[in-house]
Structures are given as C-alpha cells and as structure tokens.
C-alpha cells in the first residue's frame, strides 16, 4: 500500500494527508480520497485538551492507531512516535515503532534531523518505514521557544537540506516540513529523492497535511488558551464553511491539494 502511494507521488501526483484519530473519521476520510491518515500526536491538543503534544503516551498512540486501522483498512496510516518513545535509545525506538506497526500503522513519523538520523536508519534496517519530521517540531516546542518558523536564515536552511539528505540516505520514505519558508521547502523537495509533505511549508512540497479539526473550522482553543484567544495558524483553512457537509469539505481539500490550489501564498511563509 505504501509503495503504491510512493510510486504515485514519484509520478507527480500530489499526496493529500489529514490527521485522523478514530474509526468513524477514518472511514469518512478514506471514502473522500485522502491518501494518508496521520494518527498525529496533535491528539494531545485536539482530543485530550492539553496545551501541547508532550504528554501523549505510547498507549495513547497504540489505541488511536488501532481505531483508525479499524475504520480504514485500505488507506496508508502514518503514526507519530510520541515524545520519549524514540529519542533516548534506538532499541527502545524499534520496539515502540514495531508496536505501532502491529497496531495498524504502515509508517511511523519521528521528529528531528541530525541527531535522529541513526535512529531512523536503525528502524529502516529493521523493516520499519519512516517519515522524518523537520522544521518546526512540536515535541521540541519548549526548546524552540514557541511556535516559530524554522529555516529562515541561509545557514538554517542549509542545515535543513543536509538533515533531509541524511535522512534520505538513512532510508526514510518521506520527509514532512512544518512551518518552513515555501522557497526552502520547495528547494529541498527538488534536491531529495523522496516525497515531501508540507504543513505551513508552501505548495512546492509533494503533498500536504492538515489537522482535521482545522479543516473543519473547530477552533476551540487549547488547555492554555480560551477559544476567543486562540488564533488559528496561518496554514489552516476551514473547508467546511463553503462545502456544506463534512464529507464534501474533505473531498474539496483532497481536490485542492491534488490540483495544487491549496495551499495558497497566504497560507505559507
Ligand atoms: O501531530 C500532528 O498532527 C502532526 C502534524 C502537525 C504534521 O505532526
């Protein structure tokens, strides 16, 4: 299933990815043509009501991966490895990654560049497909000093390119960029041999991902922000407003990604 998707992406078809945390939405999203269901640790915020992703556990990820797999048996499922499940040693990372695969994931996502390359290589060598998440990495929100665009300077953009290339050398199947200048993400996409997925990273990526709640205009804030104080991220778009039904909103998102009409410049940096 993953190989078929990678072949399509290699032939130039854009990949439409959305986060998904349960069986009902998994079914709906799969029927609407979403290529990849991301069981994101963003569930910490949008399902569990936390301020960030840091307290999401392996048990949470296993549970939600199982639910999504129950709802969509013929769609690629990517599961986030939660904070603390892979950074410390690669043997633990492999055990946890294999547990997510056993729960129904086809590929796991880990955050970080240089210092995570050997972990990615170890997972791949042991048969676990990996997506590398670069740019703004939510599990490092405290270290990064908040939600900040990454790769804005020439030097940091070069480091990001080198990280992406090292990850591809290590065998990852995809690279995801979050909050990266559009020109930087497009340049890296042209210089690595695997599909890239963007969120706040411009239209030059091979595909796009959005948090499902953002697509549906559900902006209820987070644990540390009341709804009236919460500002939706620049890269979010409420597709439901125009669509009239949840199913149609997702279909519209998929079509917009495939046609290259989403994201627009106003969603990018
Ligand atoms: O957890 C998540 O939803 C993610 C996306 C923001 C890419 O990692």
Q: Which DSSP string do the residues of 221-256 spell out, in sequence order?
A: -BTTB-GGG----TT---SHHHHSSHHHHHHHHHHH
Active site residue 178: yes
**What is the distance of C-alpha 175 from the center of its chain?**
9
d(CA 157, CA 152): 7
**Strands (E) located in the chain:** 15-19, 36-39, 76-80, 107-111, 130-135, 174-178, 196-199, 207-210
Q: Is 41 in the pocket of ligand 1 (CB under 6 A)?
A: yes
b/e per residue 52-78 (b: at least 16 CB within 10 A): bbbebebebbbbbbbbbbebbeebbbb
d(CA 72, CA 76): 9
41 pLDDT higher than 90: yes
What is the number of the ligand 1 atom nearest to the C-alpha of 176? 7
d(CA 213, CA 194): 28
pLDDT of residue 28: 98
What spacing in Å lies between the alpha carbon of 199 and ligand 1's midpoint? 8
pLDDT of residue 229: 77
Q: Is 209 in the pocket of ligand 1 (CB under 6 A)?
A: yes
Nearest CA, atom 1, ligand 1:
40
Per-residue pLDDT tens over the stretch 65-117: 999 999 999 999 999 999 999 999 999 999 999 999 999 999 999 999 999 99
Report, as an integer, the average pLDDT of 166-188: 98
29 pLDDT higher than 90: yes
What is the number of the ligand 1 atom nearest to the C-alpha of 41? 1
pLDDT of residue 220: 76
Q: For ligand 1, pick from 29, 141, 199, 234 the residue to mutate: most ligand atoms within 8 Å of CB.
A: 199
What spacing in Å lies between the alpha carbon of 243 and ligand 1's midpoint? 24
pLDDT of residue 227: 75
Per-residue pLDDT tens over the stretch 237-254: 999 999 999 999 999 999
Q: What are the two backbone dihedrals, phi and then psi, of residue 35, each rounded to the nearest 5 degrees?
A: -80, -40
Residues contacting residue 77 through CB under 8 Å, at least 6 positions apart: 36, 37, 39, 65, 68, 69, 104, 105, 106, 107
Nearest CA, atom 2, ligand 1:
40
Question: What does pTM read for this prediction?
Answer: 0.97
pLDDT of residue 232: 82
Report, as an integer, the average pLDDT of 167-176: 98
Strand partners, 4: none
60 pLDDT higher than 90: yes
Given 87, 142, 178, 264, the catalytic residue? 178
pLDDT of residue 63: 98
Q: Is 132 in the pocket of ligand 1 (CB under 6 A)?
A: no
Report, as an integer, the average pLDDT of 14-31: 98
141 pLDDT higher than 80: yes
- In three-state secondary structure terms, 164 is helix
Nearest CA, atom 5, ligand 1:
40
CA atoms within 13 A on the CB side of 216: 15
Report, as an integer, the average pLDDT of 125-150: 96
- In three-state secondary structure terms, 130 is strand
What domains sit in the chain, N to C, each tagged with a CATH number? 2-267 (3.20.20.60)
pLDDT category, 225, cuts 50, 70, 90?
confident
């Amino acid at each position: 299933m993953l190989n078929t998707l990678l072949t399509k992406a290699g032939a130039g078809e854009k990949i439409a990815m959305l986060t998904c945390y349960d069986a009902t939405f998994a079914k709906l999203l799969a029927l609407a043509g979403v290529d990849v269901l991301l069981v994101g640790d963003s569930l910490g915020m949008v399902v569990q009501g936390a301020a960030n992703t840091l307290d999401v556990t392996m048990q949470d990820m296993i549970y939600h991966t199982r639910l999504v797999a129950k709802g969509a048996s013929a769609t690629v499922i990517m599961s986030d490895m939660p904070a603390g499940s892979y950074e410390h040693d690669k043997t633990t990372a492999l055990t946890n990654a294999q547990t997510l695969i056993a729960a129904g994931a086809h590929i796991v996502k880990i955050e970080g560049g240089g210092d995570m390359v050997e972990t990615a290589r170890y997972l791949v060598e042991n048969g676990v497909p990996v997506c590398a998440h670069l740019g703004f990495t939510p599990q490092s929100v405290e270290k990064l000093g908040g939600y900040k665009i990454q790769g804005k300077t020439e030097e940091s953009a070069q480091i990001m390119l080198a990280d992406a290339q090292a990850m591809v050398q290590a065998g990852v199947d995809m690279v995801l960029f979050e909050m990266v200048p559009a020109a930087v993400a497009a340049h890296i996409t042209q210089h690595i041999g695997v599909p890239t997925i963007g969120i706040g990273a411009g239209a030059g990526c091979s595909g796009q991902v959005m948090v499902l709640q953002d697509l549906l205009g559900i902006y209820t804030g987070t644990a540390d922000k009341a709804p009236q104080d919460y500002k939706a991220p620049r890269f979010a778009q409420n597709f439901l407003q125009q669509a009239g039904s949840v199913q149609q909103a997702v279909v519209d998102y998929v079509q917009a990604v495939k046609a290259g009409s989403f994201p627009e410049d106003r969603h990018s940096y």
